[in-house]
Amino acid sequence: MKNRLTSNLLFGLAAASFFAVSAFAQEAAPAAEAPAAAPVAEAPAAAPAETQAAPAQEAPVVAPAQETPAEQPVAAAPAEEEKSAESAPAENTNPGEVADAAGNAFDMLKASMSEGTSEAKMEVKYNGEVEFDIYTGNVLEDEDLNHSYASTFDLNFEVKFNEKWSAFVGLEADGETTDPFAIYNGAYIQYQPAEFFAVKLGDLTFSEGAFVAYYDYDDPADNAAGMKEHDIRGFEIDLAGFILGFGFGRGGNDWADEDGAKVYDVHAAYEFDYAGQHLRPYVDYKSFQTTQHNELHAGVEAGLSLGGFGFRAVYGFHADYLMDDGDVVEGQDWTSTAHAFLVEPTFEVGMFDIKTTAFYALIDRGDAAEDASDLDNGEIPEYFFLYAEPAFKFAEFIKVGIPVEYHTHTLDDDDDTAATFDVGARVYITPVENLEITAFGMVDVAVQDNEDDDALRFGLETVYSF
């Protein structure tokens, strides 16, 4: 019984020395009188460790292990102690020493987790974007020269506490005016112990399959072939390309009744990038917790980059009121679905580049009332449009593009009263990095049954980032 106690205590002492070398060295000196601990106590490394409380990572600097043969017993101490455990006297090992060493090791572990969290070691970074635009109305038809505005201001802060912990907060002002209100745009904290793994907690945003090439639908907060932005307050796990998020809806992604807010949202995606190839399948489920009112988004985004050629494609499935069979309104089926297809080939060589987009959506609204379905929220801007813009650089900071577009301007493929053929010019001026000024003029030629709705419009957009 005494030998077994001795073995357990010595094994604990060896384990404590493995996790806290300096702590064990401090405790080893008083144990020098014990015969079983004599080889450790006589090691040259013990003396410096006794006089200074060095951190565990500095312990190897204290004693020249390669030059002193006496260090050999120290390195082999755990193995030798296991061999001699049965013969060592129990009364020569103090259980308090083991407890103290283990406690010191735990303190150092806690210190390493909080290392660098003091204010002096924090890093604060910020970035932002500003856009102010002005547009004319139809100068051909309007009696007066009308105009409209759009303004955007984004300001984001990132706080890095240490190598693993960071935080984010954003502010945004956005609206079709010259003085939009600035609002809190979300915050989250992130723990990232490895490059391939991260956990986020707070205000998160998910979007899929955005329009990238076409300039007028490129804000995923408003439009997307896959899924426009869903804002939640919850958590996100990123693991080697796999993304999983869950939380409660916030902002425009929420809905409430007299009992309170209802929406919850689950999002999953996998990001695959290899040698210029890109693949991202995704799925998102959103519940309103009311009769059959739920949304499902699923699809895949794929891309290929080869030299100056780029190709991007998106398939998006949109559904609302899933599995409804007269539950919402008796005798009606409110299930509404859409299959959206987007392709964006691009090409660039020398001073010439061209961007193109083709989009088509097969839409079935079912019996849902007007504006009651997710399909009516503007996510899909129109059921069909085409866009191509060849552009030439006349200098390093000036590029002129000739956009040619066809738009249906409706989700109803039986509506022939809104289609237009648009052509014009866009001048891109980039006098310095992170600053772009775009001036344009467009002629909208009405086709089909709206031949009297031709329009001429102009605009100037200024964007800079920092």
User: Tens digits of per-residue pLDDT, 8-49?
Assistant: 434 444 444 444 444 434 444 444 444 444 444 444 444 433
In this model, does residue 373 exceed pLDDT 80? Answer: no
Q: Is the same domain home to 82 and 162?
A: no
Rounded-to-10 torsion of CA 159, 162, 163, 164 = -80
Q: 399 vs 324, which has greater pLDDT?
A: 399
Beta strands at 404-407 and 336-349: parallel, antiparallel or unpaired: unpaired
Q: Which long-range contacts (CB under 8 A, 24 or more apart) does 122-125 make?
A: 122/159, 122/160, 122/161, 123/159, 123/160, 124/157, 124/158, 124/159, 124/160, 125/157, 125/158, 125/160
Per-residue pLDDT, averaged over 439-463, amounts to 89
Lowest mean per-residue pLDDT among 3-7, 344-348, 365-369: 3-7
Q: What is the DSSP string of 251-307?
A: GGG--EETTEE--EEEEEEE-EEETTEEEEEEEEEEEEEETTEEEEEEEEEEEEEET
Q: Which long-range contacts (CB under 8 A, 24 or more apart) does 52-61 make?
A: 53/22, 53/26, 54/22, 55/22, 55/108, 56/19, 56/20, 56/21, 56/22, 56/23, 56/108, 58/22, 59/21, 59/22, 59/25
Q: 98 vs 371, which has greater pLDDT?
A: 371
Q: Is the same domain home to 360 and 227?
A: yes
How crowded is residue 271: how many other Cβ atoms within 10 Å of its Cβ? Answer: 15
Question: What is the CATH classification number for the domain harbouring 341?
Answer: 2.40.160.10
Report the C-alpha gap between 160 and 466 in whole angstroms: 19
For the stretch 317-330, pLDDT in tens is 999 988 777 777 88
Report the C-alpha gap between 227 and 296 in whole angstroms: 10
Q: Is the same domain home to 79 and 180?
A: no
| Structure token digits, residue 60 | 């190897």
| Structure token digits, residue 82 | 């296991």
What is the predicted pLDDT for the residue at 431?
A: 96
Reported as half-sphere exposure (CB side, CA atoms, 13 A), residue 299 has a value of 25
What is the predicted pLDDT for the residue at 103?
A: 56
What is the predicted pLDDT for the residue at 166?
A: 97
In this model, does residue 165 exceed pLDDT 70? Answer: yes
Rounded-to-10 torsion of CA 320, 322, 326, 329 = -30
What is the predicted pLDDT for the residue at 120?
A: 58
Report the C-alpha gap between 236 and 311 in whole angstroms: 29
Of 88, 113, 138, the residue at which a domain comes to its end is 113
What is the predicted pLDDT for the residue at 89?
A: 43
What is the predicted pLDDT for the residue at 76?
A: 42
In this model, does residue 415 exceed pLDDT 70? Answer: yes
Structurally, how many domains does the chain consist of?
Answer: 2
| Cβ neighbours for 367, distance < 8 A, ≥ 6 positions apart | 329, 332, 333, 334
Catalogue the E-assigned strands of 271-408: 272-274, 277-290, 293-306, 309-320, 336-349, 352-364, 384-395, 398-401, 404-407
Q: 429 vs 7, which has greater pLDDT?
A: 429
Q: Is the same domain home to 250 and 102?
A: no
Beta strands at 260-261 and 256-257: parallel, antiparallel or unpaired: antiparallel
Give the CA distances from residue 395 to residues 70, 215, 380, 425, in Å, rounded to whole numbers and listed in that order: 74, 22, 37, 17
β-partners of residue 171 are: 155, 184
Report the C-alpha gap between 440 and 390 in whole angstroms: 14
What is the predicted pLDDT for the residue at 397?
A: 93
β-partners of residue 437 are: 429, 462
pLDDT mean across residues, the chain: 81
Per-residue pLDDT, averaged over 303-314, amounts to 96
Q: Is the same domain home to 106 and 187?
A: no
What is the predicted pLDDT for the residue at 231?
A: 97
Give the CA distances from residue 452 to residues 174, 414, 418, 424, in Å, rounded to whole numbers and listed in that order: 34, 20, 11, 19
In this model, does residue 151 exceed pLDDT 90? Answer: yes
DSSP 8-state secondary structure symbol assigned to residue 24: H
Q: Is the same domain home to 102 and 182?
A: no
Report the C-alpha gap between 9 and 67 in whole angstroms: 31
For the stretch 41-80, pLDDT in tens is 444 444 433 444 344 344 444 444 444 444 444 444 444 4
Q: Is the same domain home to 180 and 271?
A: yes
CB 261 within 8 A of CB 232: no
Q: Is the same domain home to 233 and 87?
A: no
- Taking each helix axis from N to C end, the angle separating 77-84 and 2-19, rounded to the nearest 10 degrees, works out to 170
Per-residue pLDDT, averaged over 433-442, amounts to 98
The residue assigned the tokens 């490895």 is 194
Report the C-alpha gap between 313 and 457 in whole angstroms: 31
Of 78, 113, 148, the residue at which a domain comes to its end is 113
In this model, does residue 81 exceed pLDDT 50? Answer: no
Q: Is the same domain home to 302 and 380?
A: yes
Lowest mean per-residue pLDDT among 144-158, 341-355, 441-455: 441-455
| Structure token digits, residue 375 | 């399909």
CB 384 within 8 A of CB 360: yes
| Structure token digits, residue 27 | 């405790």
Q: Is the dihedral of CA 210, 212, 216, 219 positive or negative?
A: positive
For the stretch 229-279, pLDDT in tens is 999 999 999 999 999 999 999 998 988 888 889 999 999 999 999 888 999
Report the C-alpha gap between 462 and 5 in whole angstroms: 78
DSSP 8-state secondary structure symbol assigned to residue 374: G
Q: Is the same domain home to 68 and 35?
A: yes
What is the predicted pLDDT for the residue at 272?
A: 94
Q: What is residue 204's three-state secondary structure?
A: strand
Residue 219: domain span: 122-465
End-to-end C-alpha distance for the chain, whole angstroms: 72
Q: Is the same domain home to 312 and 426?
A: yes
Of 113, 145, 179, the residue at which a domain comes to its end is 113
Q: 9 vs 228, which has greater pLDDT?
A: 228
Q: Is the same domain home to 142 and 99?
A: no
What is the predicted pLDDT for the residue at 417?
A: 85
For the stretch 98-140, pLDDT in tens is 456 545 545 644 554 555 555 557 899 999 999 999 999 999 8
